[in-house]
């Protein structure tokens, strides 16, 4: 069963625009991660934010975490066509550090 659910399911933007994806989850977590998947391939880890952190940056990526609302957002600034992919949030909780994934947001960036 999914712990996290991404929103929106699909997002279509123009190159240069910012893309924001959201993730909501149900139970308390240890960590929240974001992964990217290019069509039909493996997932690539983007960024990890711990439950005691509120914001993290990595290059053009900005992740926020609001544990009171059980939600996270991923912002990709100045999107490029190469950012076209599916983006997944993953959470782990309790004594298990196994990431549990949402269904993902499909991002299309038009050149």
Partner 1 sequence: KAGVTQTPRYLIKTRGQQVTLSCSPISGHRSVSWYQQTPGQGLQFLFEYFSETQRNKGNFPGRFSGRQFSNSRSEMNVSTLELGDSALYLCASRPSTGNTEAFFGQGTRLTVV
Task: Give the interface with partner 1 as residue ranges (CB under 8 A).
Answer: 1-2, 30-31, 33, 35, 40-45, 48, 88, 90, 92, 96-104
Residue count of the chain = 111
Question: Of 41 and 69, which CB lies nearer to partner 1 in the complex structure?
Answer: 41
| 98, 90 contact by CB (below 8 A) | no
Question: In what helix (H) or strand (E) does residue 101 lie, and over which residues does it extend?
Answer: strand 100-101
Nearer to partner 1 (CB atom), residue 68 or residue 98: 98
* Least Å from the CB of residue 33 to partner 1: 7
- Report the nearest approach of partner 1 to the CB of residue 22 (Å): 16
């Amino acid at each position: 069963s999914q712990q996290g659910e991404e929103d929106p399911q699909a997002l279509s933007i123009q190159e240069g625009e910012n893309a924001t994806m959201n993730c909501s989850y149900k139970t308390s977590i240890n960590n929240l991660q974001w992964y990217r998947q290019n069509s039909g391939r493996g997932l690539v880890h983007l960024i990890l934010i711990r439950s005691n952190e509120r914001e993290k940056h990595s290059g053009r990526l900005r992740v926020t975490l609001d544990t009171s609302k059980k939600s996270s957002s991923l912002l990709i600034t100045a999107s490029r066509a190469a950012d076209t992919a599916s983006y997944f949030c993953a959470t782990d909780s309790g004594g298990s550090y196994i990431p549990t994934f949402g269904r993902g947001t499909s991002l299309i960036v038009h050149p």
